[in-house]
Amino acid sequence: MTDIQQPKLSALGWARWAWRQLTSMRTALFLLLLLAVAALPGSIWPQRSIDPVRTANYIADHPRIGPWLDRLGFFEVYASPWFSAVYLLLFLSLVGCVLPRLRVHVRALRTPPPRVPARLARLEHHRELSVDLPPAEVLAQARVVLGRRYRVATTDKTLSAEGGYGRETGNLLFHVALLGIIVGVAIGHIFGWKGDVIVPVGTGFANTEIRYDTIQYGPRVNPRDFTPFSLTLDKLTVTFEDQVGGRGQFGSPRQFVADVTTHARPGAPGVRQTLAVNHPIEMDGATVFLLGNGYAPVITVRDKDGKVLYSQATPFLARDNNYTSSGAVKVSGASPKELGFFGNFLPTGVITDDQGPISIFPDARDPALALGLYEGELAPGGDGGSVYTLNTEKMTQVKADSGDILRIWLKPGETMKLPGDRGSITFDRVERWAGLSIRHDPARWLTLGSALLALGALIAQLTIKRRRVFVRVAPGDGATLVTLGALSKSDDAGLGDVLDKIGAAITSSAGSPRHTPPRQTPVRGSNR
């Protein structure tokens, strides 16, 4: 019988040992540090959920290490299994730490303050005085000074008080707040969603899955349940610092403001709203943020007979602080071969000897298009890649009639005829686009409230002092001998002031002390 039960007891013992190790404060601190370290790759490598184009470009530019990093989840850190494992272990560890300490704290709140030590003069902070007051009055005056901030226990000749329980309460609330943050983030990951979309000025957006450029939603989210709100980007105002030595660096952004018209549901009246950086707008079930902006030149491509094959505002993505922007124009209706234009939009364009076509200022003061042309199959195998890049795997670069590579340089209103009866391309005008991030987080108030609670609890830990104050009265030579003492669990510069206030209240009630007070006996190494 013993041989059969021994393995069960051993397994139970190992389980208890593992739980004690996991729920120790040392393990919780280690896991918290490990979680911070595990989050570092999210700030080093581009994240697919935030910038899929940049992520794809990074993998393409690093063919050896890029795919391995992708397999290990470095481009989606916060959804990776190893980050989730640390996250879950930290949650379990905090629960195991908080619950036992909570029981101990509740028991301490119900326990009376400790008895008065026999030798108060051994405490680091103590006072002695003699007053013409009865012992009961002395203890009553001490209780009045201590007030409601201390829990007080008295006898006929002693008073013991203990205060500063808010320090331990703050410590527990801080850990509870951390649990709240973890739970809030987990709920947001499971039941929340976020999507990014580029909206040119004058166009609209409807909250459906197909309209997003990138979208990510939790496992319990059904995109068909999205609230069917919509918005139209009426105007985008962007200003840059154009004074050398002005309020900021030359060319730095000063203001991004978008005027939008929102519709809560199809057929609902439009509402004019203003969207700015750090000033989102609230829709039913989602929050709309303005994250970026750029230029969308309006480009028209015609065939040799003048038929319009392509005409729309085409977003280009900024590559530097001067908004030198890259993009592509894909003309799938061209015949006999599809056409693909690639290159840069330059808000203030110049051509330099060393860098070629670049922009020297982010505002559209002298806009230009610098493009090249490919022809062939735009989407080999049905995969056309990003709308901002050109897949040239099965395409050939077009040359000019002179035999050189075709280079297109257009200003607004200009048209260029393409070689070989391929038609023409026209740069009509310049529009702006706004990069919107639309998010739904059902637990954001829980996360925010927990963060504020953690901050308040941390302040309580740093400001509240755990103190014990003792008073003993004894009959003296025609008067009452009063001995005061106090100690703290940490360095407490104000502990002596508490005793001074008690002594002052007692002496003022008695009129004047009978003997010269207070007498102090400094002692090295307090008996705490």
- Do 320 and 271 share a structural domain? yes
Angle at 198 between CA 195 and CA 203, to 5 degrees: 120
Q: Strands, DSSP E only, in 85-229?
A: 125-131, 150-154, 158-163, 193-200, 204-206, 214-217
Confirm whether 45 is domain-assigned: yes
Confirm whether 423 is domain-assigned: yes
pLDDT in tens, 107-130: 988 889 999 998 898 998 999 999
User: Count of domains in the chain?
Assistant: 4
- Do 451 and 313 share a structural domain? no
Residue 342 · residue 390 · CB < 8 Å: yes
CATH of the domain at 131: 3.30.310.80
- Min mean pLDDT across 133-137, 383-387, 492-496 is at 383-387
pTM above 0.75, yes or no: no
- Do 332 and 420 share a structural domain? yes
- Do 125 and 75 share a structural domain? no
Question: Which residues span the domain enclosing 250?
Answer: 193-440
Task: Band the pLDDT of 525: cuts 50, 70, 90.
Answer: very low
Pairing of strands 415-417, 408-410: unpaired
Please tell me the distance from the alpha carbon of residue 138 to that of residue 172, in angstroms, as a whole number.
36
DSSP H helical segments within 39-80, as ranges?
41-44, 52-61, 65-71
Task: Band the pLDDT of 526: cuts 50, 70, 90.
Answer: very low
- Do 39 and 159 share a structural domain? no
Confirm whether 79 is domain-assigned: yes
* Of residues 221, 168, 242, the one with CA closest to residue 461: 168
Q: Is 468 helix (H, G, I), strand (E, B) or coil?
A: strand
Please tell me the distance from the alpha carbon of residue 271 to that of residue 282, in angstroms, as a whole number.
12
Confirm whether 526 is domain-assigned: no
Q: Which pLDDT score, from 0 to 100, does residue 524 have?
A: 38
Q: Is 314 helix (H, G, I), strand (E, B) or coil?
A: coil
- Do 383 and 269 share a structural domain? yes
Angle at 173 between CA 170 and CA 176, to 5 degrees: 155
- Do 407 and 477 share a structural domain? no
Single out the residue in 82, 106, 130 at which a domain terminates.
106
- Do 342 and 210 share a structural domain? yes
DSSP H helical segments within 359-494, as ranges?
444-463
- Do 182 and 36 share a structural domain? no
* Of residues 470, 466, 468, 516, the one with CA closest to residue 121: 470
Query: How many beta carbons lie within 10 A of that of residue 182, not counting itself?
Result: 19
Please tell me the distance from the alpha carbon of residue 335 to that of residue 281, in angstroms, as a whole number.
45
Q: Which residues contact 61 (CB under 8 A, 6 or more apart)?
A: none
CA distances (Å), origin 390, targets 244, 329, 380, 416: 38, 8, 11, 21
Give the max Cα distance, the chain: 123
Residue 343 has pLDDT above 90, yes or no: yes
Residue 231 has pLDDT above 90, yes or no: yes
* Of residues 54, 47, 384, 52, the one with CA closest to residue 212: 52
Q: What is the DSSP letter of 366?
A: B
pLDDT in tens, 170-182: 999 998 998 999 8
Residue 234 has pLDDT above 90, yes or no: yes
Task: Band the pLDDT of 516: cuts 50, 70, 90.
Answer: very low
Q: What is the DSSP letter of 348?
A: B
pLDDT in tens, 150-172: 999 999 999 999 999 999 999 99
Mean pLDDT, range 461-472, rounded to an integer: 92
Residue 512 has pLDDT above 60, yes or no: no
pLDDT in tens, 33-55: 998 899 898 888 888 766 666 78
- Do 447 and 425 share a structural domain? no
Please tell me the distance from the alpha carbon of residue 181 to that of residue 126, in angstroms, as a whole number.
44
- Do 120 and 47 share a structural domain? no
Confirm whether 520 is domain-assigned: no
Confirm whether 3 is domain-assigned: no
Please tell me the distance from the alpha carbon of residue 336 to that of residue 138, in angstroms, as a whole number.
106
DSSP H helical segments within 111-164, as ranges?
135-146
Query: How many beta carbons lie within 10 A of that of residue 85, not counting itself?
Result: 11
Q: Which residues contact 411 (CB under 8 A, 6 or more apart)?
A: 366, 367, 368, 369, 427
Mean pLDDT, range 289-296, rounded to an integer: 91
Residue 341 · residue 329 · CB < 8 Å: yes
- Do 285 and 240 share a structural domain? yes
Residue 507 · residue 127 · CB < 8 Å: no
Q: Which pLDDT score, from 0 to 100, does residue 490 have?
A: 84
φ, ψ of residue 298 in degrees (nearest 5): -85, 115
